[in-house]
Amino acid sequence: MLVLATPTFALDFVVSNAKPLPDTGTGSAMVKCPNGTHVLSGGQHVSAVCAGREPRYVFARKPVGAEGFYDTVRRPCPRGTHVTGGGVRLAGADQGAIFLARSGPVDLGDGNEAPDDGWAPRGFNEEGRRDMIVHAVCGRQARKYAFGSATAPPQGSAEAEAVCPGGGAVIGGRIDTSGLGILTITSSYPPFGDGWSVEADNYFFGASADVDVFAICLA
């Protein structure tokens, strides 16, 4: 395990782990927070942002919608808290072809436009039936936000980064995709502890696609 950054406020850590995939099939990897800390958020690559103060953990489960359609699961944070991280797991006996289009924090109509009210993955159901289980990590820390974007050309890739303002510490992030391209997310993680980085490949030969990155930072 590699500690990528230890911000000066001494509460949070960004830790990372790596594991090669087999030649064929699937694989998994896990990273564990240091003793006495709790996970705030995480990403692909595999990374976790950890803190000494324990946050709130909530989850929701919903079947992905009808074949050929997108569906979204929203899990709000408890009142008085804001989302710092989250994730999604696909589950169910029918191993249908379900693809994730996004997984990140959202605004749920609390009177402002800051996407800090909960976590919402969005999946496309090509065939079969599976559930999306969404998890949200919520806390009371004051926060700021940063954004970035890039465009993946046909049969190309894109990398985008959002850097926390004033060199602040990142505590979470998300990736959004849009456009006519067919995007596969290859990474979404905090590379240096002060921002969020994402990468995606566009497998469609006829159109480009946009990649947007969003970082949640300590104020």
Residue-wise pLDDT tens digits, 20-60: 545 444 455 566 676 767 767 665 555 566 766 677 888 88
DSSP 166: G
- Residue 212 reports pLDDT greater than 80: yes
Mean pLDDT of the chain: 76
Spatial CB neighbours of 76, under 8 Å, sequence gap ≥ 6: 58, 108, 117, 118, 136
* pTM of the predicted model as reported, rounded to 2 decimal places: 0.68
* Of the candidate ranges 43-57, 98-112, 121-135, the one whose mean pLDDT is the lowest: 43-57
Q: Above pLDDT 90, what percent of the chain?
A: 11
CA distances 151 to 154, 176, 199, 210, Å, are 10, 12, 10, 4
Q: How does 134-162 read in b/e, with b if 16+ C-beta sit within 10 Å?
A: bbbbbbebebebbebbbebeeeebbebbb
Q: Coil, helix or strand for 23?
A: coil
C-alpha span between 137 and 119 (Å, rounded): 8
Neighbours of 168 (CB within 10 A): 20
